[in-house]
Amino acid sequence: MSIDYQQYLSKTAIGLEPSGIRKFFDLAATMDDVISLGVGEPDFITPWNIRELAIQALREGQTAYTANAGLLELRQEISNYLYKRFLVEYQPENQIIVTVGASQSLDLAFRAIINSGDEVLIIEPAFVSYAALVTMAGGVPIRVETSADNGFKVTPEQIEEVITHKTKAILLCSPNNPTGTSLNRDELTAIASVVEKHDLLVVSDEIYAELTYDQEFTSFAAIPNMYERTILVNGFSKGFAMTGWRLGFLAAPQELINVMVKIYQYTTMCAPTMLQMGAIEALRNSSEQVEKMRQNYWRRRNYIVQSLNQIGLECHTPGGAFYVFPSIKKSGLTSEEFAHGLLQQEKVAVVPGNAFGASGEGYIRCSYAASIEQIEIAMNRIARYMESLARTENAALEIAK
């Protein structure tokens, strides 16, 4: 007898949209010699001193559970770090949780605050997981679309327009994946007034905080009156080049943290112990290396933004992260057609913008977490691809005549 598994599966789970990135990955992974601007993680390897401390922890036999919220010593370092870098004060004992990546911090935040039917505003284009995480927690993701006209910055008016009595929180991500857009203090302050007026919470995804180039990074929790309303999400993946370690952290008012710790102890217990030991070293002794990587990304950003604009793929200069989000509308193709053609014809992988929400249609995400040499080759290939598209178009016009 054949089993109809569909009837067993959760409707919520089945209803989740498959990630647009996954589809593209499956295609790119079958090809050789691809130059990839499609990678959402640093091309640097974790600094050696951090790796060494994790190795030492293993040698010493640090293989038992830690406290649910993580090693107190690490939480202490996180507390120092948040205060020193962003001027926000969190108590290590009861306001910080070490999680399995920022991904899990986001999951915990939503599980802790969402009742069935609560609405969470998601500013798009957005990181692919957001809407799914809200849905899985029983909430309803409400999409707020931004546009290239103002560099994909969300305005208080756009937010206010979609707020209903069911709105519980806004998910902010600055610097943003996929647009690289950074919101400065004034822009965050303007959003804060809407948050206060409508009595909302903000889940602030600050995973790219270390990778900010033109102006100083501002944490949403540092905006006046927002500390009490902010669930701050950050981690080691991007700035410290530690994606595979799966370590992130949450900081929030104590009452929220209490509930999140409760959930965490049932779902996960704690983050891997020996890796937490490495993370202590990351916060203590790696600022020089982090700065060096930041400088490197900054130079690549300048290079790639100019190259793309020269090729005719218009893009704004993003203030942070390691992504640029150029318009491909000139090509007359959809984002997916453009990206597929580019991969097939020139073996350059980028991510179609619509993978990050409908407002990403007409754009592609190019990651510059790649060496300058690689970026240079990729830019030459993209230029060649654009020329070939123009030629086909001309030929088609001729035939039509």
Interface ranges with other proteins (CB under 8 A): 19, 21, 24-25, 28-29, 34, 36, 38-41, 43, 45, 127-129, 177, 295, 299-300, 302-303, 306-307, 349, 351, 372-373, 376
Are 38 and 28 in contact by the 8 Å Cβ rule? The answer is yes
Q: Based on the shown chain and the rule CB under 6 A, indicate whether residue 271 belongs to the binding site for ligand PLP.
A: no
Alpha-carbon span 183 to 180, nearest angstrom: 10
Nearest to 70 by CA among 82, 61, 79: 79
Choose the one of ligand PLP, other proteins, none that binds residue 197, judging by a C-beta under 5 to 8 angstroms depending on kind.
none
Alpha-carbon span 359 to 381, nearest angstrom: 26
Choose the one of other proteins, ligand PLP, none that binds residue 354, judging by a C-beta under 5 to 8 angstroms depending on kind.
none
Alpha-carbon span 183 to 201, nearest angstrom: 18
In the range 231-250, which residues lie near ligand PLP by CB under 6 A?
235, 237, 243, 248
- Coil vs helix vs strand at 250: strand
Query: 91-128 burial by CB neighbour count: b if 16+ within 10 A, else e?
Result: ebeebbbbbbbbbbbbbbbbbbbbeeebbbbbbbbbbb
Pairing of strands 167-173, 119-124: parallel
Pattern 60-99, binding to ligand PLP, x per CB under 6 A? ----------------------------------------
Pattern 166-205, binding to ligand PLP, x per CB under 6 A? -------x---x---------------------------x
Alpha-carbon span 334 to 282, nearest angstrom: 42
Q: Based on the shown chain and the rule CB under 6 A, indicate whether residue 108 belongs to the binding site for ligand PLP.
A: no
Alpha-carbon span 93 to 98, nearest angstrom: 12
Alpha-carbon span 130 to 107, nearest angstrom: 9
Minimum distance from residue 47 beta carbon to other proteins (Å): 12
Q: Among the candidate windows 101-109, 140-148, 188-196, 251-259, which touches ligand PLP by CB under 6 A?
A: 101-109
Based on CB atoms, which residue is closest to ligand PLP, 212 or 307? 212
Minimum distance from residue 35 beta carbon to ligand PLP (Å): 20
Are 301 and 317 in contact by the 8 Å Cβ rule? The answer is yes
Based on CB atoms, which residue is closest to other proteins, 227 or 385? 385
Alpha-carbon span 247 to 56, nearest angstrom: 18
Minimum distance from residue 321 beta carbon to ligand PLP (Å): 7
Choose the one of ligand PLP, other proteins, none that binds residue 351, judging by a C-beta under 5 to 8 angstroms depending on kind.
other proteins
Contact residues toward ligand PLP (CB under 6 A) are: 40, 101-103, 127, 173, 177, 205, 207, 235, 237, 243, 248
